[in-house]
Amino acid sequence: MKEKKPKDSIRVDVQTPVGNWTHDFEKTTKISEVIQEILLHFDLAPGNYQMRLISNGEVLQPDRPLVSYHIEDDTNLELFPDQGGGV
Amino acid sequence: MAVNPEVSRVKVEKELERAASYAQRRGWQLQWNPNALFLRASITASDNESYIFEFHFDDYPEIPPLIDVVHPETGERNTARCFPTGGKGYFHSSNRICAYWSRNAYTDGGPHAGNWVMGDWISKDPLRKELGLILALLADLLEDTSYKGRKAS
């Protein structure tokens, strides 16, 4: 049974190459802050990461809050690091 | 210093477990041989071509995995026919993966033989510090707009 979700929060399901995580974020949380929480959760190195909606591939802008994308509960998001390049 | 094979095995299996759900969603075919510390990963590109990456994890994670690229039909290894185009510099002209997380980049004939130190690989590219992240990058490169099929037919 799912925990009761706090009011004014959105429950997102984040998928990454190192695991999945379901977490409640306040609706006004910026994408950049969501990314930082994910990095902490999975012990990922700091760096340039992006997040996108799995449903349509839209890359989310880091300075915008979750609520600005009309994201609903249980929306699937994907975290991916910058690709860099061969050296 | 050599890494106990059991340590390498446990590390790889933990990383495989972490990557499992993502791998399934993206359709990767992963075959793990724990006794040989060997992983065969088949990833499908945007044009439905299959690319086979064979990982050898001896002395992992102290040194990066050795990654061979294998042709799915002929079985040849590390030739132009095995490699995709594009790749943002990772799919080097020497037919090796040119990256801190690829042991072949450091060894004789590799693009950085003599000027990189294997033991530094994670600190040099921490965004690819474990297997799931490496596989995700390879898969993304095969779906990138720069990908236009195999290097040679």
Chain A residue whose CA is closest to B97 = A86
Please report where in the chains the tokens 């071509």 appear, as a residue.
Answer: B49
Per residue in B1-60, pLDDT (tens digit) is 799 999 999 999 999 999 999 999 999 999 999 999 999 999 999 999 999 999 999 999
Q: What is the C-alpha separation between A32 and A28, in angstroms, rounded?
A: 11
Q: What is the C-alpha separation between B79 and B144, in angstroms, rounded?
A: 21
In terms of Cβ atoms closer than 10 Å to its own Cβ (0-12, 13-18, 19+), residue B19 is buried
Interface of A with B in 24-53 (CB under 8 A): 44-45, 47-49
Q: What is the C-alpha separation between A27 and A75, in angstroms, rounded?
A: 13
Q: Suggest the residue from B15, B22, B26, B69 to mutate for an interface test with chain A (most A CBs closer than 10 A).
A: B22
Partner residue facing B88 (CB), from A15, A18, A85: A85
Residue A53: pLDDT above 60? yes
The answer to whether A7 and A69 have CB atoms below 8 angstroms apart is: no
Q: Could you give the ipTM of this predicted complex?
A: 0.88
* Cα distances (angstroms) measured from residue A78 to each of A36, A62, B136: 14, 14, 12
B21·A47 Cβ contact <8 A? no
Q: Suggest the residue from B11, B25, B96, B127 to mutate for an interface test with chain A (most A CBs closer than 10 A).
A: B127
B87·A86 Cβ contact <8 A? yes
The DSSP bridge pattern shows strands B66-70 and B50-56 to be: antiparallel
Q: Which chain A residues are Cβ-neighbours of B129 within 8 angstroms?
A: 45
Provide the angle, in degrees to the nearest 10, between the axes of the packed helices B5-26 and B131-141: 40
Partner residue facing B132 (CB), from A18, A85, A87: A18
Interface check for A81 against chain B (CB to CB < 8 A): the answer is: yes
Cis, peptide link before residue B111, omega less than 30° from 0: no
Residue A2: pLDDT above 70? no
In terms of Cβ atoms closer than 10 Å to its own Cβ (0-12, 13-18, 19+), residue B152 is exposed
Per residue in B98-121, pLDDT (tens digit) is 999 999 999 877 777 778 889 899
Interior angle at CA B99, CA B97 and CA B103, nearest 5: 70
What's the pLDDT band for A3 if we cut at 50, 70, 90?
low
* Cα distances (angstroms) measured from residue B151 to each of B17, B32, B69, B85, B141: 32, 27, 12, 5, 14
pTM of whole model > 0.95?
A: no
